């Protein structure tokens, strides 16, 4: 869990509860931890989500990469990061051999609220929703006793709830796919924040898709000629290209690095 700036006390817990942290769904959900509360060993990041339309908070690049993979997964409909296990004491599962005493503030003796990195709502093939829990950790951290102790608490807790739980490490993350999703991700945020400009982009979609489908030239060259022919500022054609990938109107292999010097023949147009 993130390292606290100051002493963890009952007053802190009460304040977080009053603020509604760990409550709500979709846009209304509030993570238990935010980047404002704690420093991080990694790169702390805030990202506006596609699915939730809210700001998500991450304390490492690994958490961020997994988030991008969830954003691209069409079966995922809600993503809750840093989900607190608020009823740990009340839930009945075997705890006698668990070192819960390790997870207390040394000064106040107040128990930390343990969190699962992600609580995810997914749809199955029949359109039914289910919730799964995922702990995101670097593989090297699995050599640490305190990490294993925390993960065992999570595992037993979610099992008692009947919720599938698993560990995601850097060895499970497709970094190329995550990087590609990150590259296009801001375009759908652009969609939310620039309605008038998105209407213009939508109006240009057919013309751009026609050029892509009929050309064997490098993607970069097609984008540049499109901008020049329409008198657009530099970058607008690239924005449209990213936007159409994000909307899945242009199909590209997301498991390979996107190379703009490749020919348009590597692209497919969604029907």
Tens digits of per-residue pLDDT, 235-260?
989 999 999 999 999 999 999 999 99
Q: What is the rounded CA–CA span in Å between residue 271 and residue 257?
A: 24
Q: What is the rounded CA–CA span in Å between residue 256 and residue 177?
A: 7
pLDDT on residue 196: 46
pLDDT-derived band at 190 (thresholds 50, 70, 90) equals low
Cβ(257)–Cβ(176) below 8 Å: yes
Asked if pLDDT for residue 19 goes beyond 70, the answer is: yes
Tens digits of per-residue pLDDT, 46-84?
999 999 999 999 999 999 999 999 999 999 999 999 999
Cβ(193)–Cβ(266) below 8 Å: no
Mean pLDDT over each residue of the chain, to the nearest integer:
91
Q: What is the rounded CA–CA span in Å between residue 218 and residue 226?
A: 13
């Amino acid at each position: 869990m993130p390292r606290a700036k100051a002493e963890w006390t009952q007053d802190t817990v009460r304040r977080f509860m009053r603020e509604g942290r760990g409550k709500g769904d979709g846009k209304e959900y509030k993570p238990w931890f935010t980047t404002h509360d704690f420093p991080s060993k990694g790169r702390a990041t805030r990202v506006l989500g596609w699915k939730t339309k809210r700001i998500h908070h991450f304390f490492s690049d690994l958490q961020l990469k997994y988030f991008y993979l969830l954003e691209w997964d069409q079966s995922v409909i809600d993503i809750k990061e840093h989900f607190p296990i608020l009823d740990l004491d009340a839930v009945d599962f075997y705890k006698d051999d668990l070192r819960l005493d390790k997870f207390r503030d040394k000064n106040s003796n107040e128990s930390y609220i343990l969190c699962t990195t992600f609580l995810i709502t997914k749809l199955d093939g029949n359109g039914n929703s289910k919730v799964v829990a995922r702990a995101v950790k670097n593989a090297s951290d699995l050599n640490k006793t305190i990490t294993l102790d925390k993960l065992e608490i999570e595992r037993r807790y979610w099992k008692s709830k009947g919720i599938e739980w698993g560990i995601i490490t850097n060895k499970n993350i497709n970094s190329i796919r995550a990087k590609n999703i990150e590259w296009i991700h801001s375009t759908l945020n652009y969609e939310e924040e620039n309605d008038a400009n998105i209407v213009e982009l939508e109006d240009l979609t057919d013309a751009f898709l026609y050029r892509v489908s009929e050309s064997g030239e490098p993607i970069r060259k097609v984008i540049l000629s499109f901008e020049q022919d329409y008198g657009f500022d530099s970058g607008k054609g690239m924005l449209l290209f990213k936007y159409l990938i994000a909307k899945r109107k242009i199909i590209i292999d997301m498991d390979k690095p996107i190379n703009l010097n490749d020919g348009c023949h590597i692209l497919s147009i969604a029907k």
